[in-house]
Copies of this chain bind each other. A is one copy, B any other.
Amino acid sequence: MTYLRPAVGAPTASPPGKTLMSDKLQSLGISVYHEIRQDILMARLPPSQKLGLKFLSERYNCGASPIREALNQLTVEGWVVRIDKRGFFVADASPEDFADILHNRCFIEGEALRRSIALGGAAWEEEVLLTHFRMSNLDRREGDPSSADVAAWETAHRNFHKALISACGSRLMLENCARLYDLNIRYRVLARRKSHTSRRVSDEHDEIKTLTLRRDADGAVDALVRHYLATGDFLFPKD
């Protein structure tokens, strides 16, 4: 019996020749974890969806053990809710939850940016400049973007925001921000709106970048918070 299985979405044909013994083959549980996480993030698994072990075993093509492993991790991270002896469910989504995420982002990421501006050195400045430039290039393309373009922009956008706060000096803060960022993506997908194409988001990013590199902490944090709040209003106008 073998634990190997075809990579996700890849053709069943194996790569030529060597099996490459320990070459980066992560355990099954971890890769399934990433798959499920992505599916929840992208709302392919909608909120409150029942996550039966059998259903998931078939969907992700593996045994129940790796599935349980993945679900456990997702439970702690808040993507999945577990009801003892009754199974797993995709976490609910609500406007209140979204608002909570939004305000926590403003609060924590604002402080992280402030500290980065205070502590960041030349390498940090260059990283901010670079990631912003890369994102801007993708921004320029108009028309109907392919899904590959969207994915590329998503990555560039994440890298930019990550770069902004990367010099804050606190591991816990960075982890927190990363988690909040992902939680937020889910709501962006659920609202089925692409904020980056419909608003003048690139102007907002420009402003954040400029004020940050100018070491204007108050201005940069203010711009960042306004950027987030504007996105929030755009996604859920009523609130």
Q: Provide a sorted-by-A list of 16 A–B residue pairs whose CB atoms are within 8 angstroms.
A: A26-B84, A27-B84, A29-B72, A30-B84, A73-B73, A73-B75, A73-B76, A100-B170, A100-B171, A100-B172, A104-B170, A104-B172, A107-B111, A108-B108, A172-B180, A176-B176
Q: Determine the residue in chain B with the shortest Cβ distance to A111.
A: B107
* CB-CB under 8 A for A170 and B27, given A73-B75, A75-B73: no
Q: Determine the residue in chain B with the shortest Cβ distance to A105.
A: B172
Q: Which parts of A179-205 form the interface with B (CB within 8 Å)?
A: 180
Considering the complex of A and B, which 5 residue pairs feature the smallest CB-CB distances, nearest first? A76-B76, A72-B72, A104-B172, A73-B76, A100-B170
| Count, chain A residues at interface, CB 8 A | 29
Question: Does residue A211 face the partner (Cβ distance < 8 Å to B)?
Answer: no
Q: Determine the residue in chain B with the shortest Cβ distance to A33.
A: B72
Q: Which parts of A73-110 form the interface with B (CB within 8 Å)?
A: 73, 75-77, 84-85, 97, 100-101, 103-104, 107-108
Apart from A27-B85, A68-B69, A73-B75: 19 A-B pairs, beta carbons within 8 A? A22-B85, A29-B72, A30-B84, A65-B65, A69-B69, A69-B72, A72-B72, A73-B73, A76-B76, A76-B77, A97-B171, A100-B170, A100-B171, A101-B172, A104-B170, A104-B172, A104-B173, A172-B180, A176-B176
